[in-house]
Structure 1
Amino acid sequence: MSSPFPILDNARHPHESFSAARELEIRLQSAVRGEVRFDAGSRALYATDASNYRQVPIGVVLPSDVADVEATVAACRELGAPVLSRGGGTSLAGQCCNVAVVLDFSKYMRSILTLDAGTRLAKVEPGIVLDRVREAAELHHLTFAPDPATHSRCTLGGMIGNNSCGTHALMGGKTVDNIHSLDVLLYDGTRMTVGATSEEEFQRVIAAGGRPAQIYRGLDRIRKTYAKLVRERFPNIPRRVSGYNLDELLPENGFHIARSLVGSEGTCVTILGATLDLKHSPPCRRLVVVGFEDAFIAADHVPFVLGFHPIGLEGIDTVLTGFMLRKGLAVDDVKLLPPGNGLLLVEFGASSEAEVDAQAEDFLTEVAKLPARPAVRLYSPADAARIWFVRESALGATVFVPGEPHGWEGWEDSAVPPEKLGSYLRQLFALMGEYGYRSPMYGHFGQGCVHLRINFDFESSAGVAKYREFIDRAADIVIAHGGSISGEHGDGQARAALLPKMFGPELMQAFREFKTLWDPGNKMNPGKLIDPVAIYEPTDNLRVGPHEERASESNARETFFQFPDDGGSLSEATLRCVGVGACRKQGPGTMCPSYMVTQEEKHSTRGRAHLLWEMLEGDILPGDWQSEPVREALDLCLSCKACKTECPVNVDVATYKAEFLAHYYQQHRRPLRDYAFGFMDRLAAIASVAPGITPHLANLPLRIPGVSHAVKAVLGIAPQRTLPNFAPRSFQRSRVQGSGLRVQKDKAVLLWPDTWNNYYHPQTLGAADRVLQTAGFDVRVPKGHLCCGRPLYDFGFLTEARVYLERVMSTLATEIDAGLPIVFLEPSCASVFRDELRSFFPTDQRAQRLREQSFLLSDFLVRHAPDYRPPDLSGRSILMHGHCHQKSLMKMSSEVELLRRTGAEVNLLDSGCCGMAGPFGFEKEKFAVSQALAERVLLPAVRSASEETILISDGFSCREQIAQNSVRRAVHFAEVLDAPGSN
């Protein structure tokens, strides 16, 4: 199917009419005050959403306001270009990718315009993220009821386009049930505000004439012509999302034009703004989880549970939780669940603690009487949040599971009457068994909507044909149960071809008339959901299609890293990103630091993974490993490694960045700065040769103003930064063997003299030395200079980084083979042995032993010195900032545990990345981003802390960021254990 706009076709390899594209770009640039992007990198970024589909857009516009949207649509109209609205880009049915001009509202048009607690109405722009609305509404004990698992990044415009639901739709309905009015723009330039329509309002619009009158008359004709069929054929269930909402045009529903447009997936109008109905949010809540023998039996008991009027009723099975445990995802949280292979998460809500406790107790009493004799647990609010995290992590838990074939959407959100859920699931899983498919299940059991991620084979023609046959038969099962083929994620491309089965030919004609009335030229997201000409088949435009149709086979590329979890393939590794968009959140956690500052898709984990995948495919992005769009996207990656664990599918951009740079600089000249920072360990080692003299000379240029400025200019260092000074003597040179403490020779441990603490802050290693000896260990320190090579990865010096690790394994062969534990103080150094070492040497037994024998000081003490007692700090307050690598790869729990044993009040900041990130914060062009990250949480917390508060940060870079932006100095955890008064 060819695009009506003669710029791109919809084949996998688009052919461009550059003159037409350029003309449209020029017109948009002159008319739009926001951003207009027609470059290959931007088009690649928006070629896919969170679905199985991929289509290269004509270009992308980030409008700054409504006037920009109107100007964009006008320019597209003049040249006949299709238009596609996009919010967070997390749609699962392919409705957010098309050969069109994409309008991304999420960067600029993201404000709450008004929020009136009295009328319970909020007016918002389409790019506002749901959680921002909920946070503002909760100040008045109100909420926008629908809350999908993507609530931290999905936008209201996207929710309206998709008719999103979520966990608490049981309490407040779908998005359609919570829309008061919409401000919309038609492709022809008509702007309208629509909502419920009284007879007086209807007559007023008709009398005024023009395009609005034509719309209202047409809608009136549609409702009168098809009212009987709508009442008969539309499933009367909580989760009917498929098709257009013609039922909202019926008299009994108030001829609600705004709600008829909800779920239209951008095929009719562009949403400029929305007025939302807010609902009461019960401030007091209790969560009960009930475990049954299997998920089918759990589904059978949904009607029983609904009789107690919960505000949320979700279900998960143990295939899902088993996948989470295998992936190491929320392991401690999963362990809180009761036994059972099918679990129902039942939440009650009320205005008072007494009332909600009574609800929960009544339910528990009746559950105990059930013949099925399920296991049951009632949770505290803190533990309830952990259980909900398990549920919200479900989508990520179902993909890229070790030892499992890939799971895909494609039949993941059908819905049936809740009382028929058990029957439906049994028949559906019998059909899956017939086809050799399997999937975990989770989702909104209380509304009969269950999510799956089935192991479809999209990489062979036979597998694609099998998939198409399966969904056709699965639709028959849903319809036989009185259900809807989509209960949450919409029709888009994945299910649009199945709609005639569900609605019949007459209602399909009604849908086409509805679409044509709003969009007679078929320029709004054409080919998706409903199209008067032809819709895309579910098997068209597949991102990962049959091998014989793929642009290239990129798995054979030679790489420096081995990618042991991805079959040795970087292409397979980047395919991990399923577009769920957790990296686009704001607030808790660390991922993704640069996106938090720039709000740019290309600076999100998702954006970077998609660009790398496109680069490896090779049909949009030119240049292969020399791709400038990829380099630019990776340039602001801080290599924090948060995505490796916070991303639900463990996308590892830090590793991908190092790999890319290693290849990129095979054909490009490196900046001098790369060598200066990358090989900082060598400079430090040279500076320490003559104790007290060479360090002084090495520091001297940094103290002379003119010279210091010149050095910074040559190296591209931000003038605001102060380069750290070498210590007069390194720890290795100043260490005195034998402190007089009684130690056990059979409890030997190796203390790693990392570059940063050895040459810059030797007092930290000295403190750790004494702490370990106090704990009874024989502390040994390697002789000579050894380095993990951490900075080398930031610049892609991977050949050299591998040599560094080989040298370590050779030099310490005796200690490694003897099983000697190695204790690290610098988290970024420890992470090399936990992460990069395996990526280089996945089958090397010595590398495996080294990895297993590497510990941070806190982890080592908790595991190997259970009787160790830290000093008494009762009455003191401790403020902690965790290093990114420690939080992502090693966690902070051991350190917090030991510090709390001191009797001090410990506050672990949720401060994300400090922004320094090794050399990143020193680079001139990245200084602003570095500072913005530090100012998010860390620096305000440091400035507000009392002088008596002990500031702890184990990362050398983190301590530098604090020191260079405040009068305070943070100390290492080891220093607190060694000298309680130090701050």
Structure 2
Amino acid sequence: MIPRLSPSPRVPSLTATFCAELRARGFAGDLTMAEADRTALATDNSIYQITPQAIAFPRDRDDLVRIATLLAEERFATVRIAPRGGGTGTNGQSLTDGIVVDLSRHMNRILAIDPVRRTARVEAGVVKDQLNAALAEHGLFFAPELSTSNRATIGGMISTDACGQGSCLYGKTRDHVRTLTTVLADGTVWHSEPLDDDRLAAAQARQDLAGAIHREVDKLQRENAALIDKTFPPLNRCLTGYDLAHLRRADGRFDLNAVLCGSEGTLGLLAEATLNVLPLPSHVALVNLRYDSFDAALRDARTLVAFGAASVETVDSKVLGLAQEDPVWEGVTAYFPEDAGEQVQGVNLIEFVGDGADAVEAALTRLTATLDEAGTAHGRRGYTVARGEAEVGRLWAMRKKAVGLLGNTKGDRRPMAFVEDTAVPPEHLADYIAEFRAALDRRGLEYGMFGHVDAGVLHVRPAIDMKAPGAEALVRAVTEDVVALTQRYGGLLWGEHGKGVRSEFSPRFFGPLYPVLQAVKAAFDPRNQFNPGEIAAPEGAALLTVDGVPTKGQRDRTIPAHVRAGYDEALHCNGNGAWSGKFRALNTRFLSTLCAVADAGSLAGAARAMGLSSAAVAEQIQTLERGLGVRLITRLGRAVTLTDEGRAVVTAGRDILRRVADLTQVAQLGRLSGTLRIGSVSTALMSVVPPTLRHMAEHHPEIALKIVPGTSSQLLSMLEGGAIDCAITVRPTFEIAKEFGWHLIREEPLTLVCPAELPFEGVEACLSSSPMISMYRNSPTGRIAERFLQDKKIVAKELFEIEAAEVILVLVSQGLGVSLLPDYGFESSRERRIRKMAVGDRAYGRPVGILYRRGARISLIDAFHAAIKNGAIS
């Protein structure tokens, strides 16, 4: 049986009424209260899990107006909403127990690109990489960088004022925003941009919510200017949400975008944005500088920044070690030469960019000359240089994959993001991190570190088993340690990823300025309906807390251990949209086609297997490559080989196809159906399989069975690669990994097989005096027979070594020799001219059973196993 979750909380009648009324008023997008949809959007890229009551997928700005206008009615005063983009936030910003407003499904259009003015106008659900792909055709790009750029939406970037690598050169998202189009709490559509005094006065004269906002926010800024200057620290990563320090521009203009950027959906619904875009740099070079300690890498960063680098990024030995086990390492191994057998403990990646090759080379030469002169000073171990977009891109791909590498750590303790974006003045970073590491070490926590040392931001993810009792208390304790540390060093708890559930610390960081933030929130959202509990709460309302919000671990620990074992990796999926953008407009047919190409080794072979033309197969592969943004295959004549990325996609794709088949089975309301791919060793094909197939045909005609023959080692490889769902095979001699299960069918005793006319004088005498036809020694049976001979000190006269039991039986029947085989049910008779005799010791038996991947077509496998047990074998 496929395990079932306990039902989510019932949808309140008020929410159902709201959704019905919204549809009646012409809402053109999608609305759902289905439990499956609510469960899917109960998580994001954080450790938290909150089930929403409903989900709205607006089709356009008019739909957002409909939502806000209806929300403003008194009867719906208690309905709450939270906007959602790609779900990449690490602090639960897109989670709510109210209504999720998902802008990624429909509001993902690039509305205009102006190469002359260097602007782009986009809807909030546009993904950053999607925008940059379109801008690249004009030689432009949207500069703020982040590792989740392939699924993070522009709306989400604006809402958290996101930035990452290169922020010292390019700034944060707010530095590239020209105009925002926001639907306010009363349904007003407001286009915010910098306003001079005359235009500000006109905005303040309005008699709607937009007018009230401009009057109140301007007043708050003027009356608290000195306190604002004192509270906001002078950091590259300014204190976002709500950024009153930048409400007035250097030229004196009033810019409401300073408050809206980083507001995390608490002030309105962002519909569109007009952005500044920049020319793509034409030349790039990067120095990969290695160190004998991570502390040395951190302390050296300030020196490196002075060389005019566009960015300086650091990576610790934990992340580097994980990268070496990943396919990404093949692209960068040349930049990590052997250092006298010692492991590199950290690296700094120093990038130079520019429009002229001479300027980039000059900056690069200044740095490398200094490094050459200093030698191994400052803990340096040597450096390598990459030039050009392709080579530099390989190193950035490794650094960009750091989050994924840490997330793929095996075991119950996984690196968790909840204190990972702290920011301190760069000159204090090394001392701060030394104390940070000491605090984690005292608690016995492992961790990985990487980040933007030029900006004083380092990503730290402590490894915690969130299923363990007390996990939430540990999150609280570590967070309190880090809060105290950041305040002591004049830094911030939230330097890059917003506040979210960490908003409880807003009063502590803002101090006497916090009531001003409360007033800003009240001006925009008088009834506290927009993402309540985050950044600032009205008087009397509560802020979210790091241990007061349900976590995924709390739900996971209620799942029985034997069920968790079958879905272990699936439980680590956090719903952050890593696959959504890649497979938008794609379907599983393309994955099936890629798997068929991998199996056939050619497009033509895959086409024959699938009943398609070669052109159709080629087109589907190209569509998949465009969607994923990587090359999946290479061609040499008619032959096709998978790239590293292609092999990774095939492995994941086979698992996806199995899970889709399982979902189809669930939709059949308990009726077993689908295809089960069964591998089998040859001896089982002649004994277990035929009667089992007959039983399955009689009792489960809806299940299509595909039988794949192979040796035990071949079947194990096919099972690991996803080519089959289960295998009838000999139990492996090594420990079976926890993602696999094993059902014993029977123990097959080791048997002496000899010609029927051979006088029998006992097992040992027969083996010593007759020619031996051996089973292949590296096979499970061959190893058992070899062990028997050694234990009994029998020196056999080997004639042949063959890996096929039936062939051996034929040779024995022809009088060529004797053999040791497991008794898998073959007949011994004078007609067949063979005789068999058990060696009499069960220690030499061969365990045969079903090896299967947990969670993969498990109900069909259970039916197949039941068919075997219910008399299909003797």
Shared fold (TM-score, shorter chain, > 0.5): yes
In the TM superposition, what is the alpha-carbon distance from 1:799 to its structure 2 partner?
9.8
Q: Residue in 2 aligned with 1:236?
A: 234
1:23 and 2:31 aligned: no
Question: What is the count of residue pairs matched by the alignment?
Answer: 657
Distance change >3 Å, CA 119–CA 797, structure 1 → 2: farther
Distance change >3 Å, CA 190–CA 659, structure 1 → 2: closer
8 Å CA contact 2:678, 2:724 repeated in 1: no
Q: How does 1:126-141 map to 2 (within 5 A)?
A: 126-141=124-139
Distance change >3 Å, CA 100–CA 643, structure 1 → 2: farther
Q: Deviations over 1:405-425 (max 9, x none)?
A: 222111111111112111111
Q: Residue in 2 aligned with 1:149?
A: 147
8 Å CA contact 1:63, 1:108 repeated in 2: yes
In the TM superposition, what is the alpha-carbon distance from 1:309 to its structure 2 partner?
1.7
In the TM superposition, what is the alpha-carbon distance from 1:357 to its structure 2 partner?
2.1
* Cα separation, 1, equivalents of 2:478 and 2:183: 39
In the TM superposition, what is the alpha-carbon distance from 1:47 to its structure 2 partner?
1.0
Q: How does 1:452-851 map to 2 (within 5 A)?
A: 452-493=460-501, 495-504=502-511, 506-532=512-538, 533-546=541-554, 552-557=558-563, 568-570=565-567, 572-586=568-582, 593-594=586-587, 645=648, 652-657=655-660, 667-668=670-671, 670=673, 674=674, 804=707, 808=709, 812=711, 831-832=718-719, 834-835=721-722, 844-845=732-733
Distance change >3 Å, CA 595–CA 349, structure 1 → 2: farther
8 Å CA contact 1:491, 1:529 repeated in 2: yes
Q: Residue in 2 aligned with 1:203?
A: 201
* Cα separation, 2, equivalents of 1:646 and 1:312: 32
Q: Residue in 2 aligned with 1:368?
A: 372
* Cα separation, 1, equivalents of 2:170 and 2:669: 57
* Cα separation, 2, equivalents of 1:578 and 1:321: 24
Q: Deviations over 1:490-509 (max 9, x none)?
A: 1101x2112223221x1111
Sequence identity (%): 24
Q: Residue in 2 aligned with 1:763?
A: none
Q: Deviations over 1:835-871 (max 9, x none)?
A: 4669768962499999x99xxxxxxxxxxxxxxxxxx
Distance change >3 Å, CA 245–CA 444, structure 1 → 2: same
Out of 20, 35, 38, the position equivalent to 1:40 is 35
| Aligned-partner residue type, residue 44 of structure 2 | D
Distance change >3 Å, CA 430–CA 28, structure 1 → 2: same
Distance change >3 Å, CA 651–CA 65, structure 1 → 2: same
Q: Residue in 2 aligned with 1:359?
A: 363
8 Å CA contact 1:659, 1:798 repeated in 2: no
In the TM superposition, what is the alpha-carbon distance from 1:138 to its structure 2 partner?
3.1
In the TM superposition, what is the alpha-carbon distance from 1:582 to its structure 2 partner?
2.5
In the TM superposition, what is the alpha-carbon distance from 1:159 to its structure 2 partner?
0.5
* Helix, strand or coil at the partner of 1:273: strand
Out of 334, 341, 354, the position equivalent to 1:350 is 354
Q: Which has the higher contact order (CA 8 A, sep 6+)?
A: 2
* Helix, strand or coil at the partner of 2:447: coil
8 Å CA contact 2:287, 2:385 repeated in 1: yes
Task: Report the structure number with the largest CA radius of gyration.
Answer: 2
Q: How does 1:838-877 map to 2 (within 5 A)?
A: 844-845=732-733
* Helix, strand or coil at the partner of 2:348: strand
Distance change >3 Å, CA 24–CA 648, structure 1 → 2: farther
Q: Residue in 1 aligned with 2:863?
A: none
| Aligned-partner residue type, residue 272 of structure 2 | G
TM-score (norm 2): 0.69
Distance change >3 Å, CA 114–CA 597, structure 1 → 2: farther
* Cα separation, 2, equivalents of 1:365 and 1:428: 34
Q: Deviations over 1:161-214 (max 9, x none)?
A: 111102232321111111112111111212211121211111222234433221
8 Å CA contact 1:296, 1:426 repeated in 2: yes
* Helix, strand or coil at the partner of 1:453: strand
1:83 and 2:87 aligned: no
Out of 378, 381, 384, the position equivalent to 2:392 is 384
Out of 242, 247, 250, the position equivalent to 2:248 is 250
Q: Deviations over 1:200-258 (max 9, x none)?
A: 11122223443322111101111012211221121111123553111122353632111
In the TM superposition, what is the alpha-carbon distance from 1:17 to its structure 2 partner?
5.1
TM-score (norm 1): 0.61
* Helix, strand or coil at the partner of 1:109: coil
In the TM superposition, what is the alpha-carbon distance from 1:67 to its structure 2 partner?
0.8
* Helix, strand or coil at the partner of 2:366: helix
| Aligned-partner residue type, residue 237 of structure 1 | L
Distance change >3 Å, CA 275–CA 435, structure 1 → 2: same
Distance change >3 Å, CA 55–CA 596, structure 1 → 2: farther
Q: Deviations over 1:487-530 (max 9, x none)?
A: 1111101x2112223221x1111111111110011000111222
In the TM superposition, what is the alpha-carbon distance from 1:465 to its structure 2 partner?
1.6
Q: Residue in 1 aligned with 2:631?
A: none
Distance change >3 Å, CA 544–CA 644, structure 1 → 2: farther
* Helix, strand or coil at the partner of 1:301: helix
Distance change >3 Å, CA 513–CA 832, structure 1 → 2: same
* Cα separation, 2, equivalents of 1:380 and 1:273: 37
* Cα separation, 1, equivalents of 2:576 and 2:32: 23
* Cα separation, 1, equivalents of 2:718 and 2:140: 44
Distance change >3 Å, CA 663–CA 584, structure 1 → 2: closer
In the TM superposition, what is the alpha-carbon distance from 1:28 to its structure 2 partner?
2.1
In the TM superposition, what is the alpha-carbon distance from 1:13 to its structure 2 partner?
7.7
* Cα separation, 1, equivalents of 2:650 and 2:207: 52
Distance change >3 Å, CA 498–CA 847, structure 1 → 2: closer
8 Å CA contact 2:82, 2:531 repeated in 1: yes
* Cα separation, 2, equivalents of 1:797 and 1:454: 51
* Cα separation, 2, equivalents of 1:843 and 1:20: 57
* Cα separation, 2, equivalents of 1:206 and 1:545: 48
* Helix, strand or coil at the partner of 1:421: helix
Q: CA RMSD in A?
A: 3.9
Distance change >3 Å, CA 275–CA 350, structure 1 → 2: same
In the TM superposition, what is the alpha-carbon distance from 1:473 to its structure 2 partner?
1.6
* Cα separation, 1, equivalents of 2:534 and 2:589: 32
Distance change >3 Å, CA 681–CA 52, structure 1 → 2: closer
Q: Deviations over 1:419-438 (max 9, x none)?
A: 21111110100111111112
* Cα separation, 1, equivalents of 2:437 and 2:735: 44
1:163 and 2:158 aligned: no
Distance change >3 Å, CA 34–CA 128, structure 1 → 2: same
* Cα separation, 1, equivalents of 2:588 and 2:61: 24
Q: Residue in 1 aligned with 2:311?
A: 312
8 Å CA contact 2:475, 2:546 repeated in 1: no
* Helix, strand or coil at the partner of 2:478: helix
| Aligned-partner residue type, residue 68 of structure 2 | V
In the TM superposition, what is the alpha-carbon distance from 1:102 to its structure 2 partner?
1.6
In the TM superposition, what is the alpha-carbon distance from 1:292 to its structure 2 partner?
1.3
| Aligned-partner residue type, residue 304 of structure 2 | V
Q: Residue in 1 aligned with 2:282?
A: 283
Distance change >3 Å, CA 240–CA 644, structure 1 → 2: farther
* Helix, strand or coil at the partner of 1:285: strand
8 Å CA contact 2:38, 2:55 repeated in 1: yes
8 Å CA contact 1:644, 1:652 repeated in 2: no
In the TM superposition, what is the alpha-carbon distance from 1:585 to its structure 2 partner?
3.2
Q: Residue in 2 aligned with 1:65?
A: 60
